[in-house]
Amino acid sequence: MSKPDIEARIEAAKLRKLERKEKTETLRFYLPIVVPLLSAVAVFGALVFQAIQFKKSIEIQRETINVQKDTAAIQRSMTEEQKRTAEDAAWREAVKTFNMANPNLVSSHSNNAILKGFLKAGDHKEDARNLAVEILALTIDQDLFADLFHAVFDTSSAPAEANDETWNTIQKTTEINRRLKTRFFEYNDVSNSMFGKTGPRPQWSIRTIETNRGLLKLNPENVKYQLGIEIDMVSNLLATYLRLPRSEARERVDLADSALSDCDVSGVNLRGAVLDYVYIYNVKLEDADLSEITKFTKSNWDNTAWWHAKSVGSELLNYLKTSYPYSKKTYNGSITTSEDDYNQNISRLEGLRNNS
């Protein structure tokens, strides 16, 4: 081999060595840079994957929660439906226990307890209230009446304002007294038929009397006494609600054929009220407004100092002066008046009429 060939090979070997060295150096330069970068990419990829997995896990959990909520809602709906079904069945059974065909059997302590359970809450609360009003109108035992009456109407305190509920109470209590008054006079007719209008009658405290055939029968005088107490009870609650200020649309109350007894309606606005056949007995009317009343056919005002009212409608004033003037033998109990008191107030009322 010639010398030039040997030198050429040596140079070629040197070049290859330099190239390997250059590659090694390049690798040494980039390796510290590339390795961390690749590690960072790997970590980032892992984080992205975990984020995707976490998101999917959250979505699965959310779907699971929604399913659980839907299931719970369905269960609640089923429970409520079962409760309503059971309540409906219980109400139907309760109604069957009230023998409306026999007024003397309608109200009892056990029946009152059943009805009061529905009055507290539930879908049949208003149904129970309406049925209770019907039962109260048929009840002649004052203790049973009071027990149910206090369950239906809140008599513990006066309401703060007039609203739909208080107006509804006025309507219902008026209707109760309307029917109690009818029954009172029905038993009064029975008593007149049995003992005569002026004949001696059994004591009101005797609950039953013996007929000519030896049978026991309700003493009509006792029934009248108990109905009278019931009318007083309703009248006092009605007076409380009538004392509330009412809107113009509800100002003129309809008390026709009803009763107000042994109660205080002083200062009450009865302007334009319907008083046809109303039974007013032993009622305080100080400063009550009786103006614009034109419907008062055969109204009763016994033992009532109507002349203490703040004002009295012209037609009503003429009627009262003629039919219910002051009499020494008429007034008792809580009514305090005299002939001078009557004359002075008549002059006052006449003066108001003449100036209007």
Q: Given pLDDT bands bounded at 50, 70 and 90, which one contains residue 193?
A: confident
* Residue 102 covered by a domain: yes
Question: What's the pLDDT band for 311 if we cut at 50, 70, 90?
Answer: very high
- Indicate if 162 and 129 belong to the same structural domain: no
Same domain, 260 and 316: yes
Domain termination site, one of 135, 152, 169: 152
Range of the domain at 240: 153-355
User: Average pLDDT over the chain, rounded to whole?
Assistant: 83
Percent of the chain with pLDDT over 90: 38
What pLDDT band is residue 166 in, cutting at 50, 70 and 90? confident
Res 67 pLDDT > 90: no
Residue 256 covered by a domain = yes
So what's the pLDDT on residue 27? 61
Inter-residue long-range contacts of 260-263, CB under 8 Å, 24+ positions, other chains counted:
260/177, 260/235, 261/228, 261/231, 261/232, 261/235, 262/232, 262/235, 262/236, 262/333, 262/334, 263/232, 263/235, 263/236, 263/238, 263/239
Q: Which of 152, 171, 188 is the last residue of a domain?
A: 152
Residue 62, in any domain of the structure: no
Give the span between the Cα atoms of 268 and 248, in whole angstroms.
14
Q: Residue 174 contacts by C-beta under 8 Å, 6 or more apart in sequence?
A: 238, 253, 254, 255, 258
Q: Give the model's pLDDT for residue 203.
A: 84
Question: Residue 26's pLDDT is what?
Answer: 67
Q: Is residue 80 part of a domain?
A: no
Residue indicated by tokens 């139907």 = 92
2 in a domain, yes or no? no
Q: Tell me: the pLDDT tens digits for 131-143?
A: 889 889 988 889 9
Mark whether 252 and 351 lie in a shared domain.
yes
Residues 194 and 317 in one domain: yes
Q: Are residues 112 and 239 located together in one domain of the fold?
A: no
Give the pLDDT confidence score for residue 64 in this predicted structure: 81
Q: Is the pLDDT of residue 356 over 70?
A: no
Domain shared by 263 and 345, yes or no: yes
Q: 75-115 pLDDT, tens per residue?
A: 777 767 777 778 788 888 877 777 554 555 456 777 888 88
* 177 & 263 share domain: yes
Judge if 164 and 128 occupy the same domain. Answer: no
Q: Is residue 343 part of a domain?
A: yes
Residues 122 and 221 in one domain: no
Each residue of 215-230: pLDDT tens digit? 678 888 999 999 999 9
More confident residue, 191 or 90: 191
Looking at the structure, tell me whether residues 314 and 176 fall in a common domain.
yes
The number of folded domains in the chain is: 2
Q: Residue 129 falls within a domain, yes or no?
A: yes
Per-residue pLDDT reduced to its tens digit, 7-53: 677 776 666 766 676 667 666 666 677 667 767 777 777 777 777 88
The answer to whether 279 and 181 are in contact (CB under 8 A) is: yes
The predicted-structure confidence for 253-290, as pLDDT tens digits, reads as follows 999 999 999 999 999 999 999 999 999 999 999 999 99
| pLDDT recorded at residue 110 | 79
Asked whether the whole model's pTM tops 0.85, one would answer: no
Over residues 332-343, mean pLDDT: 81
Q: Which residues contact 199 (CB under 8 A, 6 or more apart)?
A: none
| 198-212 confidence digits (pLDDT tens) | 878 888 788 888 766
**How far, in Å, CA of 306 to CA of 345, rounded?**
10
Sign of the C-alpha dihedral computed for residues 323, 326, 328 and 329 taken in this order: positive
Same domain for 188 and 303?
A: yes
Last residue of a domain, one of 133, 152, 171: 152
Mean pLDDT lowest for which of 128-132, 170-174, 229-233? Answer: 128-132
Is residue 104 in some structural domain? yes
Same domain, 102 and 244: no
Average pLDDT in the 329-353 region?
A: 84
